[in-house]
Structure 1
Amino acid sequence: MELQIALDRMSYEECFETLEEVSDHVDIIEVGTGVIKEYGLGIVRDIKDKYKDKKVLADIKICDAGRSESEVAFSYGADIVTVMSFADRKTIMDCLEVASGEDREVVVDLLNHSGPEVLEMLKSIGAASVSAHIGKDQQGEAAMSEQRFAGLESSGFKLYVAGGINEDNLTDYMSLDPAVVIVGSGITKAADKKGKAARIRSLME
């Protein structure tokens, strides 16, 4: 099981200051959608240049133009990109084709679109990784009970879990048997970021 740090709603400097503290405890560095919108894909390149031993995920949430969007992100050093499950089938297929040719990974984000027919379609086109994602605007105490991802734990996908995860609610997500746990503000907003990352890592193990 891997730990992914999500860098979002942060300045360029805060991203690097946070990574300086937590990089020893994380496997994947996610450059969040908001950060990329503010600073461009150049920050993906800069982070990959500094942390060559880490996988870097560009959370660009592709909805269309899958081929060109994924090609550009990979050219900036991203190891992983995200595409939305509600995107056209061809869009997702194009992302997967580009990633296969470059030995990179595509994670299909299931935000608000995760029914059995969606999973069946993704399986049929060769998608291997999906994200059980509870969006920022959906997060709350009842989020996991209100938005289920039934069947994912036995679906055969490499499963990422995301959505307001912290040390207090981590066990709620473990029932899905994830391959990757994504934590954002549960680490980045902590006074002791290094300690918090180490604590979450220990709970995962």
Structure 2
Amino acid sequence: MKIQLALDLLDEEQALNMVKMVGDNVDIIEIGTSLLKLAGVQIIEKIRSITPNKPIFVDMKIIDGPEREATLMANVKADYYSMLAVATDTAITKVLNIAQKHHAQVVFDMQSVTNYQERSLQLKNLGAQMICVHKNSDCGDSLNEAFKEFIDIKTITQLPIALAGGINLTTLPEIKTQLKPEVVIIGGTILKAEDPIATTKALRIIADS
């Protein structure tokens, strides 16, 4: 199971320092949408210079201007980037075609999708290779209820799924055992920790066990 560090920050220096501290203990480094808007795509190269061997995910949330946005991601050599699953089929096809030519992977974010079962199958048929599901925070402590969307989508599509939303040292063991996601996206648990290095190492042990 891979750990994706979500740099959901509004401070470029803090983000780069976090990469220096914990980058070696995660698998993918995510540039959050707000950080991208603040720092610009130039931050990609700055992060790459710190951790040259780590794939970079750019949380673009593409929905408009698909060819332009996907071309931008090709120009900066993003390894992964996100597109909203509610985008049109035409836009999705355009982005997937550009990503394939440049050996990048598009991760489809299911936020705001109403009929997620139908849409996830449509995405697969369009050529999607990975989907991201966010935890429903209204479901309390029930893992199956909180991640029902994840379970259904994985069953329907058999695609690799990334999970996001409040994942921490307490919930990760159960998530790993019961849900077996390919990627867990973790932000605040690391970013807000008193000791980010120790916390990330502890998460790493769980992910690798």
Q: What is the TM-score when the length of structure 1 is the normalising length?
A: 0.91
After TM superposition, the runs of 4+ consecutive aligned structure 1 residues lying more than 6 A away are none
- The aligned residue for residue 207 of structure 2 is 204
- Unmatched tracts of structure 1, length 5 or more: none
Alignment-mate amino acid for residue 182 of structure 1? I
Q: Is the Cα contact below 8 Å between 1:48 and 1:78 reproduced in 2?
A: no
- Counterparts of 1:1-205 in structure 2 under 5 Å? 1-113=1-113, 115-134=116-135, 139=137, 142=140, 145=145, 148-149=148-149, 150-154=151-155, 155-174=157-176, 175-205=178-208
Partner SS, residue 61 of structure 1:
strand
Q: Output one character per residue of 1:145-168: Cα deviation in whole Å (capped at 9) or x when no partner.
A: 356314233331111111121112
Partner SS, residue 148 of structure 2:
coil
Tell me the distance in 1 between the aligned counterparts of 2:101 and 2:138: 39
- Unmatched tracts of structure 2, length 5 or more: none
Identity %: 28
How far is the alpha carbon of 1:16 from its aligned partner?
A: 1.1
Moved more, 28-37 or 63-72: 63-72
Tell me the distance in 2 between the aligned counterparts of 1:52 and 1:90: 34
Compare the two structures and name the one with the higher helix fraction. 2
How far is the alpha carbon of 1:75 from its aligned partner?
A: 1.3
Partner SS, residue 166 of structure 2:
coil
Tell me the distance in 2 between the aligned counterparts of 1:172 and 1:105: 28
How many residues are aligned here? Answer: 202
Change beyond 3 A, Cα 1:146–1:183: closer
How far is the alpha carbon of 1:51 from its aligned partner?
A: 1.9
Please report the RMSD computed on the Cα atoms of aligned residues, expressed in angstroms: 1.8
Tell me the distance in 1 between the aligned counterparts of 2:35 and 2:122: 31
